[in-house]
Amino acid sequence: MSLSDSSECSELSYDEVYSLDDLLQMKIIDNKVANWIKQNPLPDDDPLLLLEYRDPNVANRGNEIRLALIANGATEITPTCI
């Protein structure tokens, strides 16, 4: 499986820290995810993973990717927010 460079996948920068309000305003997350995060604060060493599938071959395997992440200890908030 070939994955495209993740820097193409969004307007987020790897060098910046984004607040919950920033992510909401950018429409990266919705209110459901924001409310979950408020009720379950994330530790600094446990980042939020947001998935965006742009390659159809990868998108077709989205469920497989999601299940593999969960099998390895990830908590699913929504199908694209782990």
Domain edges within the chain: 17-71
pLDDT digits (tens, 9 = 90+) for 6-51: 444 456 666 677 788 988 998 888 899 899 889 988 887 777 777 7
* Dist. CA 23–CA 80, nearest whole Å: 14
Whether this prediction's pTM lies above 0.75 is answered by no
> 3-class secondary structure for 3-31?
CCCHHHCCCCCCCCCCCHHHHHHCCCCCH
Instruction: Please work out, in degrees rounded to the nearest 5, the angle formed at the alpha carbon of residue 28 by the alpha carbons of 23 and 33.
Output: 80
pLDDT, position 11: 60
